[in-house]
Amino acid sequence: MKAIVRIILLVSFLPYVLLNLKAFGFFGGLGANPVEAITHDTGIWGIRFLILTLALTPLYHYSKQEVLRKLPKPIGLVAFFYVLNHFLCYAIIDQAGDLGVIVIDIIETPYLIVGWAGFLCLLAVGLASFNSFQEWFNKNRSTISGLVYTAAILGVWHFYWQEKVVSYEAVLDSVMMILLILWRLRISTEKSPS
């Protein structure tokens, strides 16, 4: 079981490895706007892994594959890893680390407020998953899951809102989010009061 989880984890870092190889000129490089390429790539993979994290529970519910029950935390952390890279690329490279500029940019740009809020949600979950908070983390599963849902909703919204014309991926992500939320609501109404 552990081996399978490890392999899945390794695979989930492939997009990051590919991005780094592109930064060094392999696979056609990052193109004329490397900062944008890195920001978009890390952001899109962050959202994909967030949605995957949320999809694991219903997938387990129907398939009863034990391994799926072990995955939400590691895959959630992978999502956090991509989102953190996305945020750092924006803050340190795109905005040159200038805090004053970043604050003004976030205030002036509505989709950045949404993205920033989603990032804070994930940051809280990420910090709570450290070993020293392990007990708290395990006791507050519903808070954690609520934060991840909120982060995913804000993330998809952030992605959707910055596009000039809606892309297939944004539509697909939105549809999956809605389905996941509906499933979650149905399950919680079925179970409650438990």
Partner 1 sequence: MSSIRKSKQVIKSSEITPESVYLNRRSVLQTIGTLSTGLAINLFVNDSINANENQLTFSPNNKYSTTESLNSYEDITTYNNFYEFGMQKSDPYNYGSQFEPKPWSVKVSGEANKTGVFDLDDLIDINALEERIYRLRCVEAWSMVIPWVGIPLASIIKKLQPKLNAKYVAFETVYRPKQMPGQRRPALDWPYIEGLTMQEAMHPLTIIAVGLYGKELLNQNGAPMRLVVPWKYGFKSIKSINKIHFQSKKPLTSWNISAPNEYGFLANVNPEVDHPRWSQARERRIGAGFFGTKQPTLMFNGYAEDVANLYSGISLRRNF
Interface residue list for partner 1 (CB under 8 A): 23-26, 28-36, 93-96, 104-105, 108-111, 161-162, 164-165, 167
Q: CA-to-CA distance for 188 and 116, rounded, in angstroms?
A: 28
Shortest spacing between CB 20 and partner 1, in angstroms: 11
At 109, the amino acid letter reads T
Taking the complex as a whole, the smallest distance from the CB of residue 119 to partner 1 amounts, in Å, to 18
Question: Nearer Cβ to partner 1, position 60 or 161?
Answer: 161
Nearer to partner 1, 22 or 177 (CB): 22
- Distance, in Å, from the CA atom of 5 to the CA atom of 166, rounded to the nearest integer, reads 35
Closest contact distance (angstroms) between CB of 24 and partner 1 is 5
What residues have CB less than 8 Å from 76, skipping those under 6 apart? Answer: 49, 50, 53, 125, 129, 148
CB of 95 to partner 1, least distance (A): 8
- What tokens does 47 get? 């959202």
Shortest CB 94 distance to partner 1, Å: 8
Q: What are phi and psi of 165, to 5 degrees?
A: -130, 135
User: DSSP string covering 109-142, please?
Assistant: -HHHHHHHHHHHHHHHHHHHTSGGGHHHHHHTHH
Token pair, residue 25, equals 């000129």
Nearer to partner 1, 63 or 167 (CB): 167
Q: Which is nearer to partner 1, 108 or 135 (CB)?
A: 108
Nearer to partner 1, 44 or 54 (CB): 44
Q: By C-beta, is 106 or 144 nearer to partner 1?
A: 106
Selection from 153, 156, 155, 194 nearest residue 172 by Cα: 156
Residues in the chain: 194
CB of 98 to partner 1, least distance (A): 8
